[in-house]
Amino acid sequence: MLELRPNCECCDRDLPPASRDAMICTFECTFCADCAGEVFGGICPNCGGELVRRPIRPAAKLANNPASTERVLREGADCADRRAA
């Protein structure tokens, strides 16, 4: 089951479970659509995999299968600059 991480690892933007702007790779690295496209060109900077839109878990399933609350942040100047903006 996907973790549904709560934020963009680059700019730290909130990405709630129903967000259509969340992009993930096969390792569940999570980025907002803006960072995925503008900063990384659709390729995960962590593993080199393709970033695709994260599926939305039906709200009724979130009660027993909640999204993660652990925020993950990527190191590096490319993302530090976006968080400072």
pLDDT (tens digit per residue) in 48-63: 999 999 999 999 999 9
Average pLDDT, stretch 68-72? 96
φ/ψ region of 42 (left if φ > 0, alpha if ψ in -120 to 50, else beta) reads left
Average pLDDT, rounded, for the chain = 94
Domain range for 73 is 22-84
Q: Is residue 60 part of a domain?
A: yes
Residue 85: band (very low, low, confident or very high) from pLDDT cuts 50, 70, 90: low
Q: Is residue 63 part of a domain?
A: yes
Count of structural domains, the chain: 1
Q: Is residue 7 part of a domain?
A: no
Q: Is residue 11 part of a domain?
A: no
Q: Are 21 and 15 in contact (CB under 8 A)?
A: yes
